[in-house]
Amino acid sequence: MNENVQPLGYGSAGAALQERNKVMRNTYWLLALSLLPTVLGAWVGVATGITAALSGGLGLVVFLGGAFGFMYAIEKTKNSAAGVPVLLGFTFFMGLMLSRMIGMILGFSNGAQLIMTAMGGTAGVFFVMATLASVIKRDLSGMGKWLFVGAIVVMVGGVVNIFVGSTAGMMALSVAVIAIFSAYMLYDLKRILDGGETNYISATLALYLDVFNVFQAMLALLGIFGGERD
């Protein structure tokens, strides 16, 4: 008898697993790469002060217009050779937009320490969520609609708080953003592992937004509670 005969469906299941692993591997590499333009964008913004004037309504319009414009372009190019450069352009833009907060945090005597703490905290959240995604067996797809509603609520709250300028509101929003986008991180990682996302550029964009929002919210909280003046 032929001992190499495989059970029906084994080959297709193995191929599907290899494809999911490939998507996850490429996503991790591209996510790591995307952090470099983010850091560069933040450095350019701080060094030149180009975003210093982007406050209130003007800053909101520039941010939303640029972010949604880039995300539309990423969606259109994700299956072509232009997809990766467009994504990296988006992460540079996001770093540039983050530079205003970075500059404010660096105004504290312990600003550099706060930034490193936020980076470490975000990395810790990502590690925990990646671990949970790999061990949880149940389907988490039902989380998506609730997380989307939560994201819309905090976005609207953030827009309102730009004009209100409430510190308490900023604290509450930051806590909510950390909770919602940490859960989004788990949701997006699980989707990739379960084969629900097969395009690594789209997968990277989703995880990048999760990481960016968690980092920004942590940095805001640390600035409020831990910022020290000379």
Of 224, 151, 219, 155, the closest CA to residue 183 belongs to: 151
What average pLDDT score do residues 61-83 get? 90
Q: Each residue of 29-56: pLDDT tens digit?
A: 999 999 999 999 999 999 888 877 676 6
pLDDT value for 229? 74
Q: What is the mean pLDDT of residues 208-230?
A: 88
Q: Enter the DSSP assignment of 196.
A: S
Higher pLDDT, 159 or 200: 200
What average pLDDT does range 137-142 have in this prediction? Answer: 84
- pLDDT reported for residue 1: 43
- Span 205-222, mean pLDDT? 94
Report in angstroms the alpha-carbon separations of 118 from 31, 107, 221, 223.
18, 16, 9, 10
Of the spans 38-42, 64-68, 153-157, which averages the highest pLDDT? 38-42
Question: Cα(29)–Cα(106) distance, rounded to whole angstroms?
Answer: 29
At 13, the pLDDT band (50, 70, 90 cuts) reads low
* DSSP conformation class of 55: -
User: What confidence score (pLDDT) does residue 55 get?
Assistant: 66
Q: How confident is the prediction for the chain on average, in pLDDT?
A: 87
What percentage of the chain reaches a pLDDT higher than 90? 55
Q: Is the pLDDT of residue 11 over 60?
A: no
Tell me which residue has tokens 């259109």: 76
* pLDDT per position as a tens digit, 128-137: 999 999 898 8
Question: φ and ψ at 127, to 5 degrees?
Answer: -60, -45
* E strand segments, the chain: none
Q: What is the pTM of this model?
A: 0.88
In whole angstroms, give the CA distance from residue 230 to residue 220. 19
